[in-house]
Amino acid sequence: MACSLFVTSIIVIFLVSYTYGQQCEQTLNAARFDCYPEKNPTQEKCLARNCCWRSPNQRFNLSHFSDVDVPFCYYPSDFPNYEVISNEPTDFGQRIRIFKSQMTYMPHDIVNLTVDLIYETEQRLRIRIYDTVFKRYEVPLKVPAIEKKADPTDYEIVVKSKPFSILVTRKSTGMILFDSSVSPFIFADQFIKISTRLSSPLLYGLGEHRQSLLINITKNWQRLTFYTRDFPPLENINLYGVHPFHINLERTPDNQTKVHGQFFLNSNAMDVDLQPLPALTYTTIGGIIDLYIFTGPTAQNVIEQYWDVIGKPMMPPFWSLGFHLCRWGYNNTGNLLAMIQRMHDAEFPYDVQWTDIDAMSSHLDFTYDNKNFNGLPDLVRGLQSDGKHYVNIIDPGISSSQPAGTYFPYDDGIKRGIFIKKLDSTDPILGQVWPGITAFPDFTNPDAVEWWTNIAATFHETIPFDGMWIDMNEPSSFIDGSINGCTTYYLDNPPFVPHVLGDSLNSKSLCPSAQHYLSSHYNLHSMYGYFEAQATNQALKTIRKQRPFVLSRSTFAGSGQFTAHWTGDNRATFNDMYFSISAILNFNMFGITHVGADICGFGLDTTEELCTRWMQLGAFYPFMRNHNDIGQRDQDPASFSWEAQQIMKQALLMRYSLIPFWYTLHHQATMESRTILQPLFFEYLNDVNTYNIDEQFLLGRAILVSPNLIAGSDKVHAYFPADIWYELSSGVKLLSIGQFIDLNSPISKLNVHVRGGFIIPMQIPGANLVLGRGNPFTLLVAQSYSGEASGNLFWDDGDALDSVETQTYNYFEFTLKTPNTLTINALVTNYKDSPMRLDLVKILGINKPITSVTVNGKAYSDYLYDFLDQILLIHGLNIDMLAQSSQIIQWTTSN
């Protein structure tokens, strides 16, 4: 009997499959687009959608469910689609009307749509598809408004009428930038799905997810879910932020590489499916299609084009570039003071002290525990008198259970009506976070900024904090939805839920039906951290009248205008340290350049080896903070052995000596849309060896960092592109290039190399950045093959809101040109409150003995030349770089 049933099943499956006809024929598994993305697909459910059902190998056996990656249920070639009914030229490009005569499987299918093709710039195309009749939610992100069509220089558009599709290609190569013809387009009220062919499987971005830098879709199928969520970083789940932006490389037949990017401007919960065709599918449950295509053709060009849409990153305060220390679990002022004292006694440079929620009174925002943390206000003022700064934590959940009239943040919030509300109610929706039952501020409410500023300013009078750390702002709750659950309203029960952690949109957060001033939580959930960061940034400007420092866990596209970011609650493992690199490189692409990871790990007890290696790597994070969890061992540098302390101190001193270079890179990010950290392929686009490297990275364009990420290892397998490289610490030229090299990497060594052709401004470190600002500068000059190099330096007071607008800054350009002439050009010299004296110049790569040196035309004798290492050291210069517009240092060599 069992055998007969088996045979019958095979026959039935075969007959059903046979009736599909040619519309279900697929020569490639990779060309299947998933028609049933929900869990537990079955043949019955699939056929009910008029889709195809076959095992991936096109064999019919009962074990085929073991292969879960390739869709069993996929679209036939004749699946209902839209067709063009009109196409008219417009001032901005084209306006196309499309219509679908047959409904598909999702409720409330929208059959009349408008497609706007907007030629925004010569390199930027925008595709908007929306309901022709009814206005739908659109992301409240301020993006450039374009009213006049640009003339595309390197993209062409072809619109196919029946079935409707859009093809965008690069004029110069014919490479595909966007092609929606690969799969049916679906637009229902709560289910929008559009696919595109990719130019190659070389894909980067799509955050926030824990993943390698290169997203591997050569053989693998992947699904990335976008919906902000509080959860420690793990692979294959949605995390704290939403950044639906990617970079795709195009390899031409002549082995040249160009780059384009895409940004899907949508804040609703979504899945992005990737498959080895290669292809990408966006599936979102709200809003509209609002898609930007950036044509590059370099990675840097794509970044510039993207940031022109979302906004450039903020210029951080100078002091925030130093070393930050924090932990959850100081527990009292005594422990905090003991840590500060041991850091002082061990002579570690550090700039910023933080406290976590244990310093609050009963976990209430804008309070401190005056019993366990007695004297905290005086401690903070003492730190500030020594040139240090203090940052405190604020969670968005405002306690609603304090006695009436005793907790001003809640009382005033209720009075102003600024909390997120329950559906069809004026009452706030209530969740549960650290202080217990809480309401959540609606930062889209115009009154919220004033309310937030007032309560922060009142607390600032007690504890004069210098920055604000906004955590738990996904927003996070310890319960699902609310203390009263969620409604049966359609927003709380969508027909399709992307593959979010917890399988529900209200999982450890608020009900989607909750109401903000601008729209529903269903639409705005993933932008909560964005609007809180914006409000906090403005509050700090008002309170301190200085450049604000905000650190936010949850972010959205454009958050870099207001906030720095850290990668969340990582763990003390070498694997977590490795993943931090790709995360930081991605966030630089996303326009959040002041970014770091919890050094030495947040969860679990760290080890001395791991923390030492991580402090070395962390010295090259844009935002450098050591932070760990309650109940774990102390992991501040001074808590380790004397030997480990010395190694960590050298890493910190290396960072502090490079602060002028770091600060200038931040200025370039703000003004010129340049990433601060970047992957190697950004600079070596035609070198295929760089495409998958995420264990090394570049600081700016000039410094290559190759950390040791393996426990117990004393070697680093590092790649050096075909260029000239010098070891940063010794200045010695590297002989082997264009290949992978095993570098010696004992625990005491971090491998850092300088690229020829660049001049790095440096400074003698101080105990902290404020105390060291007046110290002498150094120029590290790394010659290229041609004997030339260049660099620059931006310098202001480090805190002013308007130093660029008022030109109250100094800006220098340094150039080395043959024959052996270093020029210091002072282009802007309006900041006079700090000495800018150049004491030392170190030139690398001089292969002939030096016979003389002159400074501004006068003979100079204080120099040393190392013939073996080919280094010229000109010391004791005491040059005032502000004294004149151009100053020249020259040297002659023997023939």
How far is Cα 510 from Cα 420, in angstroms, rounded to an integer? 10
Give percent helix, percent strand, percent coil of the chain, each to the nearest 5.
25, 30, 50
How far is Cα 94 from Cα 88, in angstroms, rounded to an integer? 6
Tokens, residue 503: 């399988």
Q: Are 274 and 217 in contact (CB under 8 A)?
A: yes
Q: Quick check: helix, strand or coil at residue 310? A: helix
Residues pairing with 324 in the sheet? 352, 625
Tokens, residue 248: 């795709």
How far is Cα 768 from Cα 5, in angstroms, rounded to an integer? 78
Report H helices in 280-389. Answer: 299-310, 333-345, 376-385
Query: Computed from CA positions of residues 589, 592, 595, 601, in that sequence, does the dihedral angle turn out positive or negative?
Result: negative
How far is Cα 198 from Cα 219, in angstroms, rounded to an integer? 14
How far is Cα 146 from Cα 116, in angstroms, rounded to an integer? 12
φ/ψ (deg, to 5) at 481: 85, -80
Tokens, residue 456: 């922060």
Exposure string for 469-481, b = 16+ CB within 10 A, e = fewer: bbbbbbbbbebbb
Tell me how far CA of residue 381 lies from CA of 373, 390, 424, 461, in angstroms.
14, 9, 47, 11
Asked if omega into 819 is within 30° of 0 (cis), the reply is: yes
Largest CA distance in the chain: 105
Q: Quick check: helix, strand or coil at residue 743? A: strand
Q: Are 720 and 739 in contact (CB under 8 A)?
A: yes
Q: How many CB atoms lie within 10 A of CB 783?
A: 25
Q: Among residues 208, 471, 569, 629, which one is catalytic?
A: 471
Active site annotation includes 442: no
Region of residue 550 (phi > 0: left; psi between -120 and 50: alpha; otherwise: beta): beta
Q: Among residues 250, 356, 365, 474, which one is catalytic?
A: 474
Strand order in the sheet with 186-188: 186-188, 191-197, 279-284, 270-275, 222-226
φ/ψ (deg, to 5) at 393: -100, 145
Report CA dihedral (132, 137, 142, 147) to the nearest 10 degrees: 10
Tell me how far CA of residue 887 lies from CA of 213, 506, 764, 835, in angstroms.
43, 63, 21, 17
Instruction: Using the structure block, give the residue that is written with the tokens 């009428």.
Output: 161
Tokens, residue 397: 């959940």
Cβ-defined contacts of 366-370 (< 8 Å, 24+): 366/394, 366/409, 366/455, 366/456, 366/458, 366/459, 367/459, 368/462, 368/463
Tokens, residue 506: 């209200």
The CB-side HSE value for 576 (13 A sphere, CA atoms) comes to: 24
How far is Cα 644 from Cα 612, in angstroms, rounded to an integer? 6
DSSP state of 604: S
Tokens, residue 751: 């491998």
Active site annotation includes 643: no
Asked if omega into 208 is within 30° of 0 (cis), the reply is: yes
Query: Computed from CA positions of residues 879, 881, 883, 885, in that sequence, does the dihedral angle turn out positive or negative?
Result: positive
Tell me how far CA of residue 609 lies from CA of 77, 293, 633, 712, in angstroms.
57, 45, 14, 8
Q: Are 249 and 199 in contact (CB under 8 A)?
A: yes
Q: Are 665 and 674 in contact (CB under 8 A)?
A: yes
- Residues classed as catalytic: 471, 474
